[in-house]
Amino acid sequence: MEKEDFYYANGRTETYTIIEVSMFEGRTVETKKQLLKLLFERIYTELNISPQDVEITIFETPKHNWGIRGLLGDELALNYKVNI
């Protein structure tokens, strides 16, 4: 397919990017907003992708819905702190 064959919604360019973040549930609204703001800033400053071209979705799930290193997330002893 040629580059000209791709179409983008109004205001979007060829750098249009969708990001999905999966995390344990429980973080505050302010924490998630701060994460989103920082991602928009860093993507722009480091990759020169305009915030207009970025969509970010956060998916929160309980730990028991995770499988990590062969264990269930709610049975796993993490060796780091998850700040909520």
- Per-residue pLDDT, averaged over 60-79, amounts to 89
C-alpha span between 31 and 51 (Å, rounded): 19
C-alpha span between 36 and 6 (Å, rounded): 27
Sketch the domain layout of the chain as residue ranges: 3-75
C-alpha span between 68 and 76 (Å, rounded): 8
Name the pTM for this structure. Answer: 0.77
Condensed to tens digits (0 to 9), the pLDDT of residues 2-49 reads 555 567 777 888 899 999 999 999 899 999 999 999 999 999 999 999
Condensed to tens digits (0 to 9), the pLDDT of residues 12-25 reads 888 999 999 999 99
CB proximity list for 29: less than 8 A, separation 6 or greater: none
Q: Which CATH number fits domain 3-75: 3.90.1300.10, 3.30.930.10, 3.40.30.160, 3.30.429.10?
A: 3.30.429.10
* Token couple for 37: 């703001």
- Residue 7 near residue 45, CB atoms below 8 Å: no
